[in-house]
Structure 1
Amino acid sequence: MRALGTLQEQARERREKHEKQHSVGANLKKIVRVFWWSSLTALLIAGPFALWYTGKTGKWLAAAEVEAIRLSAEVGMTVKNIEVTGREKTDPAALLAAIGQKPGTPIITFDVDAARERIEQLSWVRDAIVERQLPNTLVVSIAERQPLALWQTETGHVLIDADGTQLQDYELGDYLNLPVLVGTDAREHASEMLTTLKTIPRLFDMVTGAQRIGNRRWNIQLANGMFIRLPEENMAKAWARLDQLDQAHNILSRDVLIVDLRLPDRTFVRLTPGAAELRRNPPKKGNAA
């Protein structure tokens, strides 16, 4: 029995020794693996960034950069996906050309700032954000310009946004419902004027155009052919006064050609030619009206 017990103890000692050696080996492999990946990551990411920002051009640094780029490609850090959000009117081909990165190229060499600047030069793009999502994805988020009005020029109508920026690559027929602006400096001042007019949606729905007068103020044209002369200052108050006059006297439904609101304490009205003629020469009694 003592011999059997001794054999069992020896077997248990051998198993424990084997298990201890296996555990040490596994831990050592794990440590080596973590160290290898950490070193590679530092080389792939920190190395190229350090090179970009220090501006050092020594031969050994250049070689290290080339090697880092090569290793990054080998472990899959290449452009495989380009995700775009916010695009509606921007031409897809023009956008991809502005991004300027082809699938399969190393992602760590991609200059996000340069790409953003190129994208923001596109007509419909107001702002852009470009990011890298390692290991293989570029994310592009754009905010497009919103058409505000049609600006009438000597050569035709131009679509503009709130900043007065001329948009390109569009079908004019898609925007014929927008107000038409006239005047050399109309596009620079359109945003303030239209923002004021939109404060009273009922009236704004009647607006078809606006003319900039003397680089100082606006004449507004309504769908019924009536013109509203707004003042140079306190435009919002004048527009609200028009709303009050219409609600009290239905002035916008009468035979009126011009409503002059330039003076703050009075309103001048000019009748249409037909209504003015009837007022000068009213029909005689007994005649058909």
Structure 2
Amino acid sequence: MLSSITRSQRSFLRKCALVIITALFLTLILYSSLDKIINRFNYYFTCCNDCLSSLLLSSGFSIDEVVVSGNKFTNKKDILSLTDRTQPIMYISLSKLAGNIQSVSRWIKYVRVHRILPNTLHINIDEHKPFALWKDNNKTSVIDFEGKVIVDDYPVDDLVVITGQNSLSNLEFVRDVLESKTQLSDHISSFAYIGNRRWNIILDNDSTVKLPEDNPSSAWDYLNHLHNTTDFTFSDWSIIDMRIADKIFVKR
């Protein structure tokens, strides 16, 4: 059968074999030198990057000032510690820096970072706003307007205290009372959700206002009316019981 192969066919087969052998040889050489090629490329890339970095820094594109705003509960030092001032301002990944800062504190809701060329970074912190302190067993947590826990065991002044099982699921009344900004609401010390159905309000003079299960807002509004139009003195009573409609019982 081999004798039937023509001279031109033998020549073609020899050429194909030569190409295959050459390709295998070059592949072996390239494979054995790949690490050297990669290392050499990385070396030159690093050199070029260092030269460009030095040029930018010498041209004034350094990070000379970092302005932080909006942080009331987040430590400024923790924010500044995440900023690498050794590199040019153009090299900073704003999204990565914002993500790193956001992970610093549970108070942080959102972070915005932008450059003010040639040499200033501005970091704006949008924090969760504390609404009240929620006490559950031996744990005290700061909650926001929606009743979501921001942080645990963090001292914040001038916040009302909320207690009671399922109290965070029934915050609408609490929000309405505190947003009313009446003289009486300014004297509220805490809210207690009683029996999973109604609210008590404790004033800063330790008087307890027991509100009805149905329509507690009307009862509270009437108490505000008494406070504004009569000489009814809350400090004279330890308990003001309004649980029965259209009646008020008091106890010294």
Q: How many Å separate the matches in 1 of 2:85 and 2:241?
A: 62
Consecutive unaligned residues in structure 1, runs of 5 or more: 1-59, 275-289
**Larger mean Cα displacement after TM superposition, 203-212 or 63-72:** 63-72
Does the residue aligned with 1:202 lie in a helix, a strand or coil? coil
Aligned to 1:206: 187
Higher helix share: 1
Instruction: Give the conservation status (yes or no) of the 8 Å contact 1:150–1:181.
Output: yes
Aligned to 1:268: 247
Aligned to 1:197: 178
Report the identity percentage: 24
Deviation per residue, 1:183-217 (Å, 9 max, x gap): 24434654761443341421112211101235554
Q: How many Å separate the matches in 2 of 1:73 and 1:230?
A: 72
Distance change in 2, residues 1:131/1:188 (3 Å): farther
Equivalent position to 1:89, from 73, 77, 93: 73
Q: Over aligned residue pairs, what C-alpha RMSD do you find? A: 3.7
Instruction: Give the conservation status (yes or no) of the 8 Å contact 2:62–2:87.
Output: yes
Deviation per residue, 1:77-96 (Å, 9 max, x gap): 33332111223331123223
Does the residue aligned with 2:184 lie in a helix, a strand or coil? helix
The Cα of 1:236 is off from its aligned counterpart by 4.2
* AA matched with 2:98: R
Does the residue aligned with 2:150 lie in a helix, a strand or coil? coil
Does the residue aligned with 1:218 lie in a helix, a strand or coil? strand
Q: How many Å separate the matches in 2 of 1:144 and 1:102?
A: 23
Instruction: Give the conservation status (yes or no) of the 8 Å contact 2:174–2:191.
Output: no
Q: How many Å separate the matches in 2 of 1:118 and 1:184?
A: 36
The Cα of 1:251 is off from its aligned counterpart by 4.5
Q: How many Å separate the matches in 2 of 1:144 and 1:105?
A: 28
Aligned to 1:78: 62
Aligned to 1:135: 118
Aligned to 1:9: none
Deviation per residue, 1:56-84 (Å, 9 max, x gap): xxxx9xx8898467525412233332111
Equivalent position to 1:113, from 95, 106, 122: 95
Aligned to 1:178: 159
Deviation per residue, 1:163-185 (Å, 9 max, x gap): 43333685x3x62x432210244
Instruction: Give the conservation status (yes or no) of the 8 Å contact 2:111–2:123.
Output: yes
